[in-house]
C-alpha cells in the first residue's frame, strides 16, 4: 500500500506530465508534392505557411518527399493535414484516404514535351533511341508523357527520372537528355534565354493541376481553411505568389472534376503497391 506522501507525489507527477504534454503546441502539417527541389518548395510556400499560422493559431510545418510516389504514400498514411499535389494524386487521396478537396487554381495545367530548339526530333517517330527525361514515375507530367509515347507507338525510348523540375531544361540543353516532360507552367517560368533555346514538341490537353486536399480529421474546419486561402489570395504576398507562378487565382473543384483523373490515379496506386 502506498502511504499518503507517495500518493501525493505520484499525483503531482501525473499532473506535471499531463500539463507538459498539453503545453506542446499542435503542428499543422502542410505537405507539398515534390514538383521542384525541397529548397525551392520551402521558400515558395513560406508566405502561405505564415498565413495559415495566423489564421489557425498554431505552428505550420511545410513538408515534402523525395519523389511523387513517396509523397503519395505518406499522404495516404495520413501524414499531412493539408496536401498540395496534382489532380491524379488528389483523386487518389480522395478515394483511398478520404481527403477533402478545397481548391485548385484557375490557370490551365498542361504537360509538355521539351526538346532543344535545334534538335533533330520533330515528332514521335523520331524518338527511337532517344533519351527521355521524366520527373518521377508517379508525376502527372511523366504519366501523360508515357501515355503520349504509347499512343504514338514509341517503344524504344530510354526513360530516366529526376527528382525535381529545376534541372529538366538544363539536361536537355546540355545534351544529357533528348526530350523531357514537364509542366507548361515550369517551362514558362524559365529565363527567357532558356525558353528561346527550347522547343515544345507536344502539349497535353488541359488537366487538373495542383489541388489542395484537406485531411478528413479537419473536416469540421473546412470553413476556416477556405477563409485562410482566401486571406492569402488577397494579401500582397499571395497576389505575388499567384502572379509569379502564373496561377491566376484559386477556384473550387467542379463536380466530378476529380473523377476525370481516375486513370492516372489508378496507375499511381499500382506504383505505390509495387514499391
For 7, 9, 12, 78, the CA distances from 3, given in Å and listed in that order, are 6, 10, 14, 45
- Residue 185's pLDDT band (cuts 50, 70, 90): confident
Span 171-190, mean pLDDT? 91
C-beta pairs of 150-157 under 8 Å, 24+ apart in sequence: 152/124, 152/125, 153/124, 154/124, 154/127, 154/128, 156/127, 156/128, 156/129, 157/127, 157/128, 157/129, 157/130, 157/131, 157/132
- pLDDT at residue 155, as a whole number: 75
Q: What is the CATH number of domain 111-203?
A: 3.40.190.10
Residue 189: pLDDT band with limits 50, 70, 90: confident
Question: In DSSP terms, which residues pair with 203 in a beta bridge?
Answer: 112
* pLDDT band for position 3 (cuts 50, 70, 90): low
- The predicted-structure confidence for 38-93, as pLDDT tens digits, reads as follows 898 999 999 999 999 999 999 999 999 998 899 999 999 999 999 999 999 999 99
pLDDT value at 257 more than 50 = yes
The 8-class DSSP code of residue 3 comes to -
Q: Specify the residue for cell string 502572379.
A: 243
The fold for domain 24-108+208-274 equals: D-Maltodextrin-Binding Protein; domain 2 (3.40.190)
**pLDDT(133) > 50:** yes
Give the pLDDT confidence score for residue 35 in this predicted structure: 83
Assess whether pLDDT exceeds 80 at residue 4.
Answer: no
Mean pLDDT of 157-182: 84
Residue 6 DSSP SS3: helix
Percent residues over pLDDT 70 in the chain = 89
pLDDT at residue number 145 = 94
In the structure, what pLDDT confidence band is assigned to residue 161 with cuts at 50, 70 and 90? confident
Domain locations in the chain? 24-108+208-274, 111-203
Would the CATH topology of 24-108+208-274 be identical to that of 111-203? Answer: yes
Per-residue confidence band for 7, with pLDDT thresholds at 50, 70 and 90: very low
Q: Give pLDDT, residue 16.
A: 45
| 156 pLDDT above the threshold of 80 | no
Q: What is the pTM of this model?
A: 0.84
Angle 92-97-99 (CA atoms, 0-180°, nearest 5)? 85
pLDDT tens by residue, 213-236: 999 999 999 999 999 999 999 999
Which pLDDT score, from 0 to 100, does residue 22 have?
44
Query: For residues 166 and 36, is the Cβ–Cβ distance under 8 A?
Result: yes
Query: Which distant-in-sequence residues (6+ apart) come within 8 Å of 103 by Cβ?
Result: 211, 212, 226, 229, 250, 251, 252, 253
Rounded to the nearest integer, the mean pLDDT of the chain is 89
Amino acid at each position: 500500500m502506498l502511504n499518503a506522501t507517495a500518493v501525493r507525489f505520484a499525483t503531482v507527477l501525473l499532473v506535471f506530465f499531463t500539463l507538459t504534454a498539453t503545453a506542446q503546441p499542435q503542428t499543422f502539417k502542410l505537405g507539398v508534392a515534390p514538383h521542384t527541389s525541397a529548397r525551392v518548395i520551402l521558400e515558395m510556400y513560406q508566405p502561405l505557411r505564415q498565413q495559415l499560422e495566423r489564421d489557425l493559431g498554431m505552428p505550420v510545418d511545410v513538408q515534402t518527399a523525395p519523389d511523387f510516389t513517396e509523397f503519395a504514400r505518406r499522404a495516404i498514411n495520413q501524414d499531412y493535414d493539408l496536401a498540395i499535389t496534382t489532380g491524379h494524386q488528389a483523386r487518389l487521396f480522395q478515394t483511398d484516404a478520404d481527403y477533402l478537396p478545397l481548391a485548385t487554381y484557375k490557370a490551365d495545367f498542361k504537360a509538355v514535351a521539351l526538346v532543344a530548339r535545334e534538335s533533330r526530333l520533330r515528332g514521335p517517330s523520331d524518338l527511337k533511341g532517344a533519351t527521355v527525361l521524366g520527373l518521377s514515375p508517379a508525376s502527372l507530367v511523366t504519366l501523360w508523357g508515357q501515355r503520349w509515347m504509347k499512343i504514338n507507338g514509341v517503344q524504344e525510348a530510354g526513360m530516366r527520372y529526376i527528382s525535381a523540375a529545376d534541372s529538366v531544361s538544363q539536361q536537355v540543353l546540355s545534351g544529357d537528355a533528348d526530350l523531357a516532360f514537364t509542366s507548361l507552367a515550369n517551362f514558362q517560368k524559365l529565363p527567357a534565354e532558356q525558353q528561346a533555346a527550347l522547343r515544345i514538341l507536344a502539349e497535353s490537353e488541359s488537366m487538373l493541376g495542383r489541388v489542395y486536399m484537406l485531411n478528413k480529421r479537419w473536416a469540421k474546419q473546412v470553413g476556416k481553411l477556405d477563409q485562410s486561402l482566401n486571406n492569402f489570395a488577397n494579401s500582397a504576398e499571395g497576389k505575388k505568389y499567384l502572379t509569379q507562378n502564373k496561377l491566376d487565382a484559386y477556384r473550387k473543384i467542379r463536380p466530378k472534376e476529380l473523377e476525370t483523373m481516375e486513370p492516372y490515379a489508378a496507375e499511381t496506386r499500382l506504383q505505390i503497391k509495387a514499391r
